[in-house]
Structure 1
Amino acid sequence: MSISGVIQIARQYLVVGSIVAFLIAILFLVGYFVVYKKVLKGTKKLEISKLALWAIFLIYIIVVLGATLGIRTPGYGGNINLHLFSSYKGALNSFSKVEWRNIILNILMFVPLGILLPLIFKKCRKYWVAYLVGFLATVFLELIQLVTGKGIFELDDIFNNTLGCIIGYGIVMIFILCFIDKKKESKNKSLKLTSLQIPLFATIIAFGMVFINYSKQELGNLDISYIYRQDMSNINVNTKLKFKNKSDKAYVYKAPVGSSEDTLKVANEVFRAVDAQIDESQNNVYDDTIVYRSSDGNYSVWVNYAGLTTWYSDFTGHDSKGKDGLSYEEVKTLVKNFDIELPEKADFKNDGDGNYTISVDMVEVDGNYLDGEFTCTISDSDVVTGFTNNIIPYEKYKEYEIISEQEAYDKILNGEFRFYLIDNNSKIENLKIDIKDVNLSYYMDSKGFYQPVYEFTLKYTDIEPVILIPALK
């Protein structure tokens, strides 16, 4: 989800929270002035500041519940992730802006709680009380998600939310100790205020070091890298292969990583083929892609920054019948109208109903190496009604030492891999993995480099998935 989407959701529940708080405030005021003052003859004065704080607190609770539960539909099946910092390791491996933003938002979401608790409840001005309440609040929220199936019970969420509460507490105590409780603990006030800011500064420094170190490293990270070790006690790995035990060298390749101007140029080339113009008011900009739409609403194209890959749709041709039996040369000629040059050497497949797939595996063309897959749909009137172009031109970057096949296999035996068919949150009994083949393949990292990886092909029930092991030493 884009940051604008997050803001939109928060805005919606802010409106809902404000309406609920307003209605409750009216009921409270009616009860205070009519029942308490007139009927019961009460003399206690109403503190507007406390009333305002309670209203803000109520609005905040509604926004948090809406953002964490209201926008989700049940379907997580009560999953539990007890691997602490697994979200951090996952974000580090992919170095996705979305994943880092989710972590930061999880921290920031509970900062207001840490600020409001000491202002509303005097007992919460003791640090351990505020910390405990923040911890219990996030545990309660995670349990609700677990029971309702509207989220995953994660230790990382508990850590992040509690950290946010601690940071908020440290911030508000500057105000409380300097302006509200001026006379209390005057001797140790400076030391206490400084110590309370340690979590905030430690968090800023930690995130800063991660991003600085990442910007300085030569290559990117691989999201296929394992986050935590698999429990191999119930996983039986078998193979009849003999793996090479000798280290070797392999090239790393560099893919083009475009700017927003580059994506616009690609989109214009696509729309030019169908005599359409881009309606910039309809552009959707995401972290890794931009969606362009034509002014007449008939066409759209998604352009990714990494590799400048594209996904084109012609909405006028969705109901048309597909044309089968085309040759590779005929398909090449039709897609050339979109300024797409398919290589001479490629694997060509007719998928039926006018769908075609063209695959290339590091084919050298004009000094570049093409790798990836191109799929398209062609109507019976010879119109390309859609295509996905994931063929990327790579150029040689540098040669590196890689681990041996045996070392890669040992990583599997040690559980140092990611495998989507394995449920990491439950015990697996008598799971058998048969390794049928191993090849040196390539995988794009987070900086647009094409790194060598070992691809282990498995026989698992009726399908043959793969396990990818990073090959660079």
Structure 2
Amino acid sequence: MSIIKMYMIKMLGYMIVALPFYIIGRVIFLKKKKKRVEPIRELILALFVLYIIGLASQTIIPRWNAGILGETGEFYFDIYLFNEIAHVNLIPFHTISQYFFTTNANVDNWSGLSLINIAGNIFVFSPIGVFVPILWSRLRSLGKIFLLGLGVTCFIEFVQLFIGRSTDIDDVLLNTIGVVIGYGIYSLLKIPYYKVAFR
């Protein structure tokens, strides 16, 4: 669970930094377009945008490190685009089967970490399936949400080829399942989207 907590804290950091910029930009946009403000819709849109920023921070934004050198007092900023342990897997269910049917003597509680990895890949994308049909009336069918989820996760995995992160077809499968599960949650809750959706 500490892994989940670590990623959530990292995502939250980006979201907090982005919040004031989003508010300022959104206010300027609404005033320029002279759009009527609907508080519920604006709140949901803000949550969705911040979620997307948090998601991007852990998927398509390269790893980086910044600070001040203690000896010289100089500021440094490093971006890591290469990673020796990054890998590419294009065989469906290969990684998933390794999680379930193999062990790793170098990792404590391998089965628990495997389950967390699988569950995390699924549920971190489920908000897309909830937010999108609420906000956009043209994207309220299961088919469109499925294609959107597939497209988003394929784009993420493609970008990861160039930023030192692993690319895995199984991530595409799990992420897309997560989006569909999110849509299922949206459908089951019968959210009154007609009050908040963009038309």
TM-score by length of 1: 0.34
Q: What is the one-letter code of the residue matched to 1:172? A: Y
What is the match of residue 52 of structure 1? 43
SS in 2 for 1:17: helix
Q: What is the one-letter code of the residue matched to 1:168? A: G
SS in 2 for 1:32: helix
What is the match of residue 90 of structure 2? 82
What is the match of residue 136 of structure 1? 151
Q: CA deviation at 1:70?
A: 4.7
Map 1:91-240 → 2, pairs under 5 A = 91-93=99-101, 94=103, 96-151=111-166, 153-176=167-190, 179-180=192-193
Distance 2:61 2:114 in 1: 21
SS in 2 for 1:167: helix
Q: CA deviation at 1:58?
A: 1.5
What is the match of residue 13 of structure 1? 11
Taking only the aligned residue pairs, the percentage that are identical comes to: 25
From 46, 49, 52, give the equivalent of 1:61.
Answer: 52
Q: CA deviation at 1:21?
A: 2.8
Are the aligned partners of 1:87 and 1:103 in contact in 2 as well (CA < 8 Å)? no
Larger Rg: 1
Distance 2:29 2:130 in 1: 28
Q: What is the one-letter code of the residue matched to 2:55? A: V
- Describe the shift of the 1:31–1:64 C-alpha distance in structure 2 as closer, same or farther (beyond 3 A): closer
Distance 1:75 1:131 in 2: 31
Distance 1:58 1:180 in 2: 17
Q: Which has the higher contact order (CA 8 A, sep 6+)?
A: 2
Are the aligned partners of 1:112 and 1:165 in contact in 2 as well (CA < 8 Å)? yes
Q: What is the one-letter code of the residue matched to 2:98? A: G
Deviation string, structure 1 residues 13-34 (Cα, Å, up to 9, x no partner)? 213213313322123213433x
Distance 2:43 2:84 in 1: 37
Distance 2:189 2:181 in 1: 14
Deviation string, structure 1 residues 124-168 (Cα, Å, up to 9, x no partner)? 1111001100000000000010122322x2110000000000000
Q: What is the one-letter code of the residue matched to 2:36? A: K
Q: What is the one-letter code of the residue matched to 1:85? A: F
Are the aligned partners of 1:106 and 1:160 in contact in 2 as well (CA < 8 Å)? yes
- Describe the shift of the 1:144–1:77 C-alpha distance in structure 2 as closer, same or farther (beyond 3 A): farther
RMSD: 2.3
Segments of structure 2 that go 5 or more residues without pairing to the other structure are 64-79, 104-109, 195-199
Distance 1:57 1:113 in 2: 8
Are the aligned partners of 2:87 and 2:165 in contact in 1 as well (CA < 8 Å)? no
Q: Which has the higher helix share?
A: 2
Are the aligned partners of 1:14 and 1:62 in contact in 2 as well (CA < 8 Å)? no
Map 1:417-432 → 2, pairs under 5 A = none
Are the aligned partners of 1:138 and 1:158 in contact in 2 as well (CA < 8 Å)? yes
Q: What is the one-letter code of the residue matched to 1:90? A: Q
Q: CA deviation at 1:6?
A: 2.9
Q: What is the one-letter code of the residue matched to 1:53? A: I
Distance 2:84 2:155 in 1: 17
Q: Give the total of aligned pairs.
A: 170
SS in 1 for 2:58: helix
What is the match of residue 107 of structure 2? none
Q: Which has the higher strand share?
A: 1
Q: What is the one-letter code of the residue matched to 1:16? A: Y
Distance 1:150 1:30 in 2: 36
Distance 1:7 1:146 in 2: 26
Distance 2:132 2:30 in 1: 24
Are the aligned partners of 2:135 and 2:193 in contact in 1 as well (CA < 8 Å)? no
Are the aligned partners of 2:62 and 2:163 in contact in 1 as well (CA < 8 Å)? no
Map 1:30-41 → 2, pairs under 5 A = 30-33=28-31, 35-36=32-33
What is the match of residue 220 of structure 1? none
Distance 2:59 2:174 in 1: 14
Q: What is the one-letter code of the residue matched to 1:54? A: L
Moved over 6 A (4+): none
SS in 2 for 1:57: helix
Distance 1:15 1:51 in 2: 21
